[in-house]
Structure 1
Amino acid sequence: MSTKKQKFFLFLKIFGSVVILAVAGLYFFRDTLLQKAIARAGSKFEREYDCNFSVGKASFTGLSGVELSGIVLVPKEADTLLSVEKIKTNVNLLQLITGDIQLQKLEMKNGFIQLVKNENGRNFDAFLKRDKNEKTNESRNYARRAYRILSKLLNLVPTEMALENLSFRIVDMQRYVTMHIDNLQLENHQLQTAINVKTNTFSQKWNIMGFADPRDRKADLKFSNSDTTKILVPYIDERFGLKSSFDNIHLNLEKLDMESGELHIDGFASISNFTVNHPKIAQKDVVIKNARFDYRFLLGSDFISLDSTSTAQLNSIKIHPFAEYNTEEDTIYKLKINMEKMKAQDFIGSLPEGLFTHFEGMEAEGDFDYKLNFKYNKNKPNALVFDSKINKENLKITKYGQANLSKLNEGFTYRAMENGVPQRAILVSSANPDYTPLDQIAPYLEKAVLTSEDPSFFNHRGFINEAFKQSIVKNIRTKKFSRGASTISMQLVKNVFLTREKTLSRKLEEILLVYILENNRIASKSRMLEVYFNVIEWGPNVYGIGEAARFYFNKKPIDLNLNECLFLASIVPKPKKFMWQFDGQGNQKPYAEKHQAFIRNLMLRRALITADDTIGQSFPIYVSGYARSFLKLKVVKDSIAADSLVTDEFDF
C-alpha cells in the first residue's frame, strides 16, 4: 500500500515529466510558434491599423536568440512607416506566448522609421485612433492606464543594445528632419551615441550619454552638441516660426512605481542657455541662462497631479508649484504657486534676458514672496477661485530701468506707436494748449469713462481680482481669449511706457510695471487719470481729450454735455471705428444709443449722476467738428455746414 510520501514523490515525477515534455515541445516547435506570433502580429496590424506587416525571414538561434530580417511596416496607400534590414534579440518563449515581452539584448542594423505628411495624408494616422475596445472605467483609472503603457514601453527598451546605421525621419510637406545614428551602444547600463541631425535650415551632430536601466526604471542622460555651438531644435522653426536652442539638457528619471494604487514618477530636468525667438513672444531673443525642474507626478484612479514638493527654478527664482486635474466628482482644475522669499534685486536679475527689456538697469531693495491659488470647477464655473498675493518686506525701487515711471509726475513728450512706427509727438504738459488738467474736464466725462472702463480705479492697486476671475471664466467657456481684465492703470502703462505689440513680453512687462507703479505710490491716482485723459487715442490721429472735444464737437473739454461724454466714453475701446456708430444721415444707430444708455443707467444706479442731470439730454448726438467728414453721409442737408467742413482744417 502506497504511503502519502510515496504518492507525493510520484506526483513530483509526473509533474516534472510534464514540464520537461512541455519545455521540449516548446523548444522543438519554437520556430512554428515564432511564425504564428508573426502571423498574429501581421493580422492585427492589418485588422486594426490597415497596415501590411511582413518579415522576410525569422528564426531562433541558440536557446533564446531570435533573428529577423526584412522587417517592413507599410500603411495601405501611404509611405513606408518602418523598414529594418536585420534585428537580432533574445526572447523568452513564455513571454512570446503571453505577449508580455521584455527585450534583454537588441542588435539592429540598416533601417529607418519615418513619419510622413503629404498631399495624400499622413502615414501614421491609424496609430492615433483610440482603441474601441478600451473599457470606460479602465480609461478613467489614470494611474493603472499610465503604468501599463509606460511599463510596456520600458519593457521594449533592451538592457543591452547595439544599433547601427538607423534613421528617424519626419517629412511634413516641404519640411523635413532626419536624425541618423551611425552607432549606439547601451552596455552595463551606460548609453553613448552621436546623432546627425539635418533639416532644410541646418545640420548638426548631437551627443547623448549617460545611465539607462529600463528594468529598474531609472535613467540619467545628457544631451549636448559635439562642438561648442548650441543645439538647435529642429522642425518647429520651419513649422511654427519658433527658433530655439540650448547648450545642454540633463534628463533624470529617479522613480516610476505603483504604491497603494498611485503611480509615482520622480526625477528632474535642467537646461542651460535656453534661447527662443518668436514674434508672439518678444521682438528679440529671449535667453534663460539656467532652469531646473525637480518633479514629482502622482496619478491616481481619478486624478493627475504635480505634487507641491516639486520645485521649478529659473536662475535664482525658486517656486513650488502644485497642479491637479481631478474627475472624482466634478472635473476640477487646480493650480497653486508658492514662490519662496527672495531679494527683490535677485528677482530682477533672474528675469529672462530679452523678455523684460524695460526692467534692464532697474535696482530694488527689500524682500518679497508670492502665492497664487487657482481652482476651476467645469460644472460650477462661477465658483472659480483666483487669489494672488505678494508679501513685501521693505520693498522699494531705488533705480528705474528703461521705463522711468516717475516721469508721470513731470511734463514729457509722448509718441504713440502704430505697427512699430512712432506717431507725431504729443507734449504732455501745460505748454501744450490742448493739454487739459483734470479740473478742466467735464465731470460727466470722468464719471462716464470710469464707469465704462474701470469703476474701482480710485480704490484698487492696479488689478481687480474679480475682473480677472470673470475674464478667466469667459475665456475658458469660449475656448479663446475673448475678454481681458484691463484697468485704467494697465492702459496708462501700455500707452506711455510700452508698445502696442501683442507679445507675451509686453503683457508680462505691463503686469509688473503696473504693480510697481501702483504699489510704490509713484504717482497719485488723480495724476494718473489726468495723464490718461491726455494721452489716449480718441480717434484717427486724435490724442488727448483737448483734441477730442474739438475734433467731435468744436468744444472745450469742460463744456461737454452728458450725452457727448457718454459718446466719448463709449468709443474709448475702439476710437478709430467711431464712424460706424452713425448712419447715412449722421444719426447714431440704435445699438450705439443703447450702449450709451446702458452706461448712463449704471451711473444713475451708482449715484454718480441724478435724474436732473438727464433733463434736456434726450436729443441725439450731433457731430459738428472735423470728425463729421469721416461719416458716410448720403445727403448733406445743410449746405453751409457742408461748405465749412470742406474748407475747415483740423491741423494738430
Structure 2
Amino acid sequence: MKTPKQKIVLGLKILVAVLMLLVVGFIVFRNALLEQAVAKVSVKMDLEYNSRFTVKKASFTGVSGIELNEIVLVPATGDTLFSIKKLKTSINLWNLMLGNVQLGSLAINQGFVQLVKKGKIRNFDAFLKKNKDETTTNEKKDYAAFAYRIISKVLNLIPTDMNVEKLTFKIDDNGNKTTIGIQKLTLANQQLETAIAVETNTFSQRWSIKGFANPRNKQADIRFFNRDTGAIKVPYLDERYHLISSFDSIRLNIQNIDKSGGELHIDGFAAIANLHLNHPKIASKDVVIKKARFDYRLLLGARFVSIDSSSTVQLNAVKMHPYVAYETDADTIYKLNIAIPKMKAQDFISSLPDGLFTHFQGMEATGDFDYQLHFKFNKNKPNQLVFDSKLNKKNLKITKYGEANLNKLNGEFVYRAIIKNVLQRPILVGTANGDYTPLDQISPYLQKCVLTTEDPSFFSHHGFINEAFKQSIIKNIRTKKFSRGASTISMQLIKNVFLTREKTLSRKLEEILLVYILENNRVASKERMLEVYFNIIEWGPNVFGIGEASRFYFQKKPSELNLNECLYLARIIPSPRKFMYQFNDLGNLKDFAIKQQNFLTTIMTRRGLLTLDDTIYKSQPLLISGSAKSFIKLKVQDTTKVEVDSIAVDDQFGF
C-alpha cells in the first residue's frame, strides 16, 4: 500500500504528464486552431457586419507569439476600414486560460486605418449598431462594474512592449481630409515615445508623445507636443465645424484606477498650455487660455456617475471645485455644484480669457469674493428645479473700468444701435437732443405698461430674476433648444449700450458680468437706468427713443400719451419694425392683439397698477396720426380710428 507521500508524488507526476500532453497537443495543433479562429472571425464579420475579413497568413512564433500577414477588413458598402501588412504579438497564456486576453508585446509594420464618409454613407456604420442584448433588456446597468470591465479589457489589449512603424490613421469626411501617420511608436520599460506626421487640406505638422505608461498597474503620465516650433493645430475640426484651435502642449496623468466597495475611483489630472479657440459661436476674436488644469476624481457607482467635489479646475489664476453627477436610482437626476473659494477680485479679472471678455480688459478692482452655484434637475419632476447662485463679497470695488465704462450711463453719450449687423444713425442721449425725455416727463401709464411687459420687478431685483432663470432653463431643457430667455431691463440696457447683437458665448458672459457690476456697485440709479432705456430702445423703423416714438405714432409729447397709446407702445417693443402687421385692412387691431391687450389690462389691474377709472380709455379710439400711418395698408384711406384695449403679453414677460 502506498504512503500518502507516494500518492502526492504520483499525483504530481500525472499532473505534469497531463500538462505536457496539453502543451504537446497545443504545439502540434496550434496552427490549425489559429486558422480556425481566423475563419470564425471572418464568418462573423460577414454575417453580422456585412464585411470581408481576410488574413493571408497566420502562424505561431515561439511558445506564445502570433504573426499575421496582410490583414484586411472591407465593408461591403464602403471603403477599406483597415489594412495591415504585418502584425506580431504575444499573449499571456495564463490569463488566456482564465478567460482574459492580455497582450504581452505588439509589433505593427506598415498599414492604415481609415474612416470614410461619402454623402451619408460611412464605412464604419455597420460597427455602430447596438448590441441586441442591450436593446431588449430593461435591467439597469451597474455603471461602476460596466466601466471597470471595459477599462480592464482595453488596458489588457495595450501591450507592455510595443513597436509600431508606418501606421496611418485617415479621415475623409466628404472631402475634409486628415492623415495622422505614426512613423514610429515604442513602449519599452514603461517609457512611451512617438514620432507623428499630421497632414490636412490646410496644414502639415510633426507631433510627439512622450512619457510613462504602465497599462498593467493602470497608470500613465504622458505629454503631447509639437516636434517643431509653434503650437499644435487641431486637425479636422477647422474644416468640418469651423472651430480653429491650437495649443502648445497637453499633459495627461492617470494616477489610480481602483474598484472597491462597489465604487470605481479614477484619479489623475489633465493640463493644457496656451489654448487658442476661434469659432463664430464662441467669440469674434481668438479666445486664449494661457493655463488650464483639471485635477479630477471620477466616481462611478451602481446607479451614478460623478465628478467628485474634491476635483479642481484651474483657469489661469482662478480655481474652482466642480461637482457634477448623473443619478438613476429612483429618478433621473442631474446635479451641478460650483464653488470658487475666496480670491482677490483683481486676480479673477486678470484671469479672464483673452478674447472672451474684451470689454473687461484694463479693468481694475479691489477686495475679495467667493462664489457658489447649486443646480439640480429631476427629469421626472422638472418643476422642482433648483437654481441657486450666490456671490459673497468683501470690500469689493471697481476702481477702474475697461472698455465698457459703465459710468457713461450717468452722463451724455452717443448711442448707435446695431440691427442685423448694420450700424444705425447716432442718437445723442442727453438734453441737447430735442427728443430726449427725462423720466418725469414720460407718461406714468407708459412706465407702468413697459415695466409690466418687460420687467415687473425691475426696481427690486439686482439685475437677475432667479425664478425667471429657472423657468427659462426648464423650457429650454424640454424643447432641447434655447427657446426662452430671462432678460431684464438691466440686461437689455447693457446689451444695447455696451455690447453688440452678436449671438456668441462671449457676448452672453460679458452681459452677465457687466449687469452684476452695474446693479451691485450702484453705478447708476434705477431711475437713471430706466430713463436711458426709454430714450434708446427701438420703437419702429428708424425710430429710437420715446420722444421720436410718441411723435411718429401720435404727434404728441411723451407726457401727453393716454393709456391706450401707452398700452400700444409697450406691446410693440418685442417687434417694433413689424407694428403694421397688428392692423387689418380697415385699420383696426386684429383679434389676437386685442385679446393680448385685454389680458395685460387685467394683469395690471390685479397688481394695482390700474384702477377701474383708468379703464375708461377702453371706450376711446386709438388715433394713429403720425407718419406711422403711411405704413398701415388700408382699404379706406381716411380710416384712422383704431380701437385698442390692452397690450400684448407673451411668456417672455414672465406671466
2:649 corresponds to: none
Measured after TM superposition, the shift of residue 588 of structure 1 is: 1.0
Q: 1:24 and 1:155, CA in 2 relative to 1: closer, same or farther beyond 3 A?
A: same
CA contact (8 A) 1:587 1:620 kept: no
**Residue 427 of structure 2 corresponds to residue 420 of structure 1:** no
Question: How many Å separate the matches in 2 of 1:545 and 1:192?
Answer: 69
| Partner SS for 2:608 | coil
Question: How many Å separate the matches in 1 of 2:184 and 2:293?
Answer: 30
| Partner SS for 1:588 | coil
CA contact (8 A) 1:249 1:270 kept: yes
Question: How many Å separate the matches in 2 of 1:8 and 1:108?
Answer: 47
How many aligned residue pairs are there? Answer: 641
Question: How many Å separate the matches in 2 of 1:618 and 1:5?
Answer: 117
Question: How many Å separate the matches in 1 of 2:148 and 2:63?
Answer: 31
CA contact (8 A) 1:160 1:186 kept: yes
Counterpart residue type for residue 73 of structure 2: L
Identical columns (%): 64
Alignment of 1:444-455 (within 5 A): 444-455=445-456
2:611 corresponds to: 610
Tell me which moved more, 412-421 or 531-540: 412-421
1:177 corresponds to: 178
**Residue 360 of structure 2 corresponds to residue 359 of structure 1:** yes
Measured after TM superposition, the shift of residue 631 of structure 1 is: 2.1
CA contact (8 A) 1:461 1:515 kept: yes
* TM-score calculated relative to the size of structure 2: 0.95
Measured after TM superposition, the shift of residue 99 of structure 1 is: 5.8
2:516 corresponds to: 515
Question: How many Å separate the matches in 2 of 1:217 and 1:492?
Answer: 54
Measured after TM superposition, the shift of residue 47 of structure 1 is: 2.7
Question: How many Å separate the matches in 2 of 1:48 and 1:317?
Answer: 51
2:627 corresponds to: 626
CA contact (8 A) 2:623 2:640 kept: no
Question: How many Å separate the matches in 1 of 2:580 and 2:243?
Answer: 39
Q: Which runs of 5+ in 2 are unaligned?
A: 643-655
1:31 corresponds to: 31
Q: 1:355 and 1:4, CA in 2 relative to 1: closer, same or farther beyond 3 A?
A: same
Q: 1:639 and 1:193, CA in 2 relative to 1: closer, same or farther beyond 3 A?
A: closer
Alignment of 1:141-152 (within 5 A): 141-152=142-153
Measured after TM superposition, the shift of residue 137 of structure 1 is: 6.1
1:402 corresponds to: 403
Question: How many Å separate the matches in 2 of 1:325 and 1:500?
Answer: 35
Q: 1:117 and 1:587, CA in 2 relative to 1: closer, same or farther beyond 3 A?
A: same
1:110 corresponds to: 110
**Residue 547 of structure 2 corresponds to residue 546 of structure 1:** yes
Question: How many Å separate the matches in 1 of 2:209 and 2:316?
Answer: 25
CA contact (8 A) 1:587 1:621 kept: no
2:63 corresponds to: 63
1:253 corresponds to: 254
Q: 1:80 and 1:302, CA in 2 relative to 1: closer, same or farther beyond 3 A?
A: same
Question: How many Å separate the matches in 2 of 1:29 and 1:83?
Answer: 28
Question: How many Å separate the matches in 2 of 1:4 and 1:188?
Answer: 47
What does the per-residue CA deviation read over 1:590-647, in whole Å, with 9 as the maximum and x for residues that have no partner?
Answer: 1111112222111011001111100132445442221122223344245999xxxxxx
| Partner SS for 2:133 | coil
1:434 corresponds to: 435
1:477 corresponds to: 478
CA contact (8 A) 1:588 1:621 kept: no
2:645 corresponds to: none
CA contact (8 A) 2:587 2:639 kept: no
Counterpart residue type for residue 58 of structure 1: A
CA contact (8 A) 2:92 2:104 kept: no
What does the per-residue CA deviation read over 1:457-498, in whole Å, with 9 as the maximum and x for residues that have no partner?
Answer: 000100000000000000001100000000000001111111
Measured after TM superposition, the shift of residue 331 of structure 1 is: 0.3
2:19 corresponds to: 19
Alignment of 1:139-288 (within 5 A): 140-288=141-289
CA contact (8 A) 2:57 2:68 kept: yes
Counterpart residue type for residue 78 of structure 1: G
Counterpart residue type for residue 128 of structure 1: L
What does the per-residue CA deviation read over 1:1-31, in whole Å, with 9 as the maximum and x for residues that have no partner?
Answer: 4455544444333333223222322222111
CA contact (8 A) 2:436 2:545 kept: yes
Question: How many Å separate the matches in 1 of 2:147 and 2:31?
Answer: 34
Measured after TM superposition, the shift of residue 391 of structure 1 is: 0.4
CA contact (8 A) 2:621 2:641 kept: no
Question: How many Å separate the matches in 1 of 2:479 and 2:638?
Answer: 46
Question: How many Å separate the matches in 1 of 2:635 and 2:69?
Answer: 81
Alignment of 1:581-596 (within 5 A): 581-596=582-597
| Partner SS for 1:611 | coil
CA contact (8 A) 1:223 1:248 kept: yes
Measured after TM superposition, the shift of residue 75 of structure 1 is: 1.1
| Partner SS for 2:181 | strand
CA contact (8 A) 1:448 1:600 kept: no
RMSD: 1.8
| Partner SS for 1:587 | coil
CA contact (8 A) 2:624 2:641 kept: no
Question: How many Å separate the matches in 1 of 2:623 and 2:113?
Answer: 71
Question: How many Å separate the matches in 2 of 1:582 and 1:325?
Answer: 51
Question: How many Å separate the matches in 1 of 2:633 and 2:327?
Answer: 55
CA contact (8 A) 2:185 2:193 kept: yes
Measured after TM superposition, the shift of residue 568 of structure 1 is: 1.2
2:647 corresponds to: none
Q: 1:36 and 1:94, CA in 2 relative to 1: closer, same or farther beyond 3 A?
A: farther
What does the per-residue CA deviation read over 1:221-251, in whole Å, with 9 as the maximum and x for residues that have no partner?
Answer: 1111112211111111111111111111111
Question: How many Å separate the matches in 2 of 1:184 and 1:572?
Answer: 64
CA contact (8 A) 1:138 1:145 kept: no
| Partner SS for 1:29 | helix
Q: 1:291 and 1:640, CA in 2 relative to 1: closer, same or farther beyond 3 A?
A: closer
CA contact (8 A) 2:357 2:506 kept: yes
Measured after TM superposition, the shift of residue 330 of structure 1 is: 0.2
Measured after TM superposition, the shift of residue 202 of structure 1 is: 0.6
What does the per-residue CA deviation read over 1:310-333, in whole Å, with 9 as the maximum and x for residues that have no partner?
Answer: 000000000000000000000000
